[in-house]
Structure 1
Amino acid sequence: MATLRLASRGVKSLCMRPATFAARPFSTTCLRRNAAPVETVGTRLVPVGEDFSSAQDSYGLSKPHTPGTRKSRENSVSDRKVRHYTVNFGPQHPAAHGVLRLILELNGEEIVRADPHVGLLHRGTEKLIEYKTYLQALPYFDRLDYVSMMTNEQCFSLAVEKLLNVEIPERAKWIRTLFGEITRILNHLMSVLSHAMDVGALTPFLWGFEEREKLMEFYERVSGARLHAAYVRPGGVHQDIPVGLLDDIYQWATQFGDRIDETEEMLTDNRIWIERLRGVGVVPAAEALNLSFTGVMLRGSGVPFDVRKNQPYDAYDQVEFDVPVGTNGDCYDRYLCRMEEFRQSLRIIHQCLNKMPAGPVRVEDYKVSPPHEPP
């Protein structure tokens, strides 16, 4: 005889052997219809062992049914601790602007912990440069950040010039400063507008890429390439600015302020934009310093540090501009800092156009040589 464990008031043995039915003298339909309703408990199958031993009754189904038992079970379930949800973000993800893997621990829609896995774009640039000259190593720096090309070249060139104790011509300094701010605007446009697109605002993204195309044309006219310019080089710049380019940059700079206002009109006071940025990604000033934040990430946390002000290079000590600083250290403050830096970059561009002197654009002393390797 086989038995099944039933989650009911008691344990019943169900006979699997066919039985002989006795003759029914009369129908019981009328009796069942007139009988008082009996409160029943739903029957469920509970897993048992191979020897049909009783399993642990986690729901208390085998206990006598008393009023309030179901309520107590609901309270016990609500008191349980909900575990965080862990997901993999990347390395190839539609919302990721680059190859990066993040292991995210989520509490609902809130990210409570992130474990970044970097190095997926490691190309061994340092080792490759060991076998190149200073000039041959320059194009590698264009490819470190595809939205900050000339500033990467500028950083490398400044290091080489300091190593060789070389002073570049004054006009080259102003050209570097001019295109450094153009590159800053390119970088901030990509940052703000791709952020807006991820949140759901597509229109500013399309407007901003029109402005990026204009700046890419300036890149192409001065160097012949839209992205990997290799224009800023140790000793100055590759060549002088072509005729008419400064006038076109001035025409663009006079109308770009209106594009900034249009973007702010769509984002800055937008309720959805504010709700999705304010109070998100808060990094206090002390933590930002401990994490070695730089740039807008550091200034958005309330630290007034800008290399162009604190350690000026090229012509930055001859221009006037302000450094915007955040107060709350969240995504919204960092967005406001970038929007204000658009306007400060325009100030610097106008000063470069007005103060740029004539003269050579690179060092003409071809006897400069790198220091000898130590024995």
Structure 2
Amino acid sequence: MSEYHQSSEAFASNDGESKQEIRNYTMNFGPQHPAAHGVLRLILEMDGETIVRADPHVGLLHRGTEKLAESKPFNQSIGYMDRLDYVSMMCNEHAYVRAIETLMGIQVPERAEWIRTMFDEITRLRNHLMWVGSNALDLGAMAVMLYAFREREELMDLYEAVSGARMHATYYRPGGVYRDLPDHMPKYKESRWHKGNALKRMNAAREGSMLDFIDNMVEEFPKRFDEYETLLTDNRIWKQRTVGIGVISPELAKAWSMTGVMLRGSGIEWDLRKKQPYAKYAEVDFDVPVGVNGDCYDRYLCRMAEMRQSIRIIGQCAKWLRANPGPVIVENFKVAPPKREAMKDDMEALIHHFKLFSEGYCVPAGETYAAVEAPKGEFGCYLVSDGANKPFRVHLRAPGFAHLSSMDAIVRGHLLADVVAMIGTYDLVFGEVDR
């Protein structure tokens, strides 16, 4: 909030003296403001501390992702999906690879679908932990951020174990996933900070396989969510900053094409995992949390409840995966690389390997739209193929873009401090907003 411009009008009073009438002034909120997270610029027209108009400006992060995807073979754009919403990586990948699989008529192995379902929910946890920590920090609560990032580290270890990367995994592939779950988890190594009994305690849950680690996580995480709620849910300062702030009616939520928690917080039970099931969501048991008042506090409660439901789903997926081994990607060398053992003895497999990574594969001509219930709402990929080895058109439906569009309608009449709460409750990540 660095600059402002006051508009004033001089007029003559009855006694002939010149006076000034101070009218609304315009203020820059961000992008350098901490609550603007570095890339959001809001131009606020204000009457004192009351918002009269809010004009969101994007354009500070534009990378032309959709046009870049149209210039590369299909597989080479999976990594771009990670960087759109760089807190919800695998959910973005899921929408893109589902679009490719629909056009190619690929049937994904059952084990791969269960792995995708599990990692979609691990991703949802990562997103909501980031949200609760950063939103609390924006509104003045420091400790929650430290607790939430403690749990995020363990989820990042799961990403790293399956893909080698802690954030931008590129783990989902057309036809399945990159590889099966590993038989062991990475362990902390001895250092001047971690040694002796403390090191043993930190590695206690990492002695077995990834599924053993996940089982321990399913048991422990609800207790840690209780810690967050102890700090926030009945905290009078937190409630003063969120209760009754940014109320979105069901009609307004639908008019602005809101999805995810922004829609469910207003009392509309719409979740693609239930309404249009994909992967293995039709086979797992979970509830869809719904708000009542449509304010920032309800949306906080919805996200906290969603984390508990995600843990339920992850536990069911881990149980199925433990009991059902099998392939995790189709054995179709046109879309999936052959195994290294096969390439040693089979020249055809070796040729397929080189062709896949140099030229990619051709997708039959057609168009499709594939959507997933990403942590922030409906993330969709509209894909058009003309039969070549790269997309003819890619358009991404990002939930944050629709939500940010409603900023002016929601914050009018609120105070300046409430704008911070609204930015937080939107759960914006600008890689997807400003594509």
TM-score computed with the length of structure 2 as normaliser: 0.67
Deviations 1:14-73 (A, max 9, x none): xxxxxxxxxxxxxxxxxxxxxxxxxxxxxxxxxxxxxxxxxx9737499xxxxxxxxxxx
Deviations 1:353-374 (A, max 9, x none): 1122210000112246511537
Among 84, 95, 99, the alignment partner of 1:159 is 99
The CA distance in 1 between the partners of 2:286 and 2:12, in whole Å, is: 73
In 2 relative to 1, CA 374–237 (structure 1 residues): closer, same or farther, beyond 3 Å? closer
Deviations 1:313-368 (A, max 9, x none): 10101001111111111111100100100110011011101122210000112246
Among 265, 276, 289, the alignment partner of 2:230 is 265
In 2 relative to 1, CA 60–162 (structure 1 residues): closer, same or farther, beyond 3 Å? same
Among 300, 303, 306, the alignment partner of 2:271 is 306
**What is the deviation of 1:279?**
1.1
Tell me the residue number matched to 1:370: 363
The CA distance in 1 between the partners of 2:53 and 2:16, in whole Å, is: 39
AA aligned to 1:363 is V
The CA distance in 2 between the partners of 1:237 and 1:249, in whole Å, is: 18
1:322 and 2:277 correspond: no
Larger displacement relative to structure 2 (106-115 or 137-146)? 106-115
The CA distance in 1 between the partners of 2:15 and 2:134, in whole Å, is: 54
Q: Percent identity?
A: 59
The CA distance in 1 between the partners of 2:47 and 2:267, in whole Å, is: 28
In 2 relative to 1, CA 334–81 (structure 1 residues): closer, same or farther, beyond 3 Å? farther
Give the aligned length: 304
In 2 relative to 1, CA 81–341 (structure 1 residues): closer, same or farther, beyond 3 Å? farther
AA aligned to 1:338 is R
Tell me the residue number matched to 1:51: none
1:281-296 equivalent positions in 2, closer than 5 A: 281-296=246-261
In 2 relative to 1, CA 110–271 (structure 1 residues): closer, same or farther, beyond 3 Å? farther
Structure holding more helix per residue: 2
1:196 and 2:161 correspond: no
Tell me the residue number matched to 1:16: none
The CA distance in 1 between the partners of 2:88 and 2:37, in whole Å, is: 15
The CA distance in 1 between the partners of 2:300 and 2:173, in whole Å, is: 32
In 2 relative to 1, CA 340–104 (structure 1 residues): closer, same or farther, beyond 3 Å? same
In 2 relative to 1, CA 187–57 (structure 1 residues): closer, same or farther, beyond 3 Å? closer
Among 127, 138, 146, the alignment partner of 1:206 is 146
Among 270, 281, 301, the alignment partner of 1:336 is 301
Among 120, 126, 132, the alignment partner of 1:186 is 126
The CA distance in 1 between the partners of 2:242 and 2:52, in whole Å, is: 16
The CA distance in 2 between the partners of 1:112 and 1:339, in whole Å, is: 32
The CA distance in 1 between the partners of 2:259 and 2:12, in whole Å, is: 58
Q: Secondary structure at the match of 1:136?
A: helix
The CA distance in 2 between the partners of 1:267 and 1:319, in whole Å, is: 30
AA aligned to 2:261 is V
AA aligned to 1:234 is P
Larger displacement relative to structure 2 (354-363 or 303-312)? 354-363
The CA distance in 1 between the partners of 2:302 and 2:248, in whole Å, is: 15
Tell me the residue number matched to 1:275: 240
Larger displacement relative to structure 2 (323-332 or 116-125)? 116-125
Tell me the residue number matched to 2:220: 255
Tell me the residue number matched to 2:28: 88
Tell me the residue number matched to 2:64: 124
Q: Is the 8 A contact 2:363 2:387 kept in 1?
A: no
AA aligned to 1:165 is G
Q: Secondary structure at the match of 1:86?
A: strand
Q: Is the 8 A contact 2:247 2:295 kept in 1?
A: yes
AA aligned to 2:363 is P
Alignment gaps of 5+ in structure 2: 1-10, 184-208, 336-361, 366-385, 389-435
Tell me the residue number matched to 1:359: 326
Q: Secondary structure at the match of 2:23?
A: coil
TM-score computed with the length of structure 1 as normaliser: 0.77
Q: Secondary structure at the match of 1:84?
A: strand
AA aligned to 2:13 is S
In 2 relative to 1, CA 323–82 (structure 1 residues): closer, same or farther, beyond 3 Å? farther
Q: Superposition RMSD on alpha carbons, in Å?
A: 2.1
1:227 and 2:167 correspond: yes
Alignment gaps of 5+ in structure 1: 1-55, 63-76
1:97 and 2:37 correspond: yes
**What is the deviation of 1:82?**
6.8
Tell me the residue number matched to 2:8: none
AA aligned to 2:327 is P
**What is the deviation of 1:131?**
1.9
The CA distance in 1 between the partners of 2:244 and 2:234, in whole Å, is: 15
The CA distance in 2 between the partners of 1:85 and 1:302, in whole Å, is: 36
**What is the deviation of 1:307?**
0.7
Q: Secondary structure at the match of 1:358?
A: coil
The CA distance in 2 between the partners of 1:282 and 1:57, in whole Å, is: 43
In 2 relative to 1, CA 81–264 (structure 1 residues): closer, same or farther, beyond 3 Å? farther
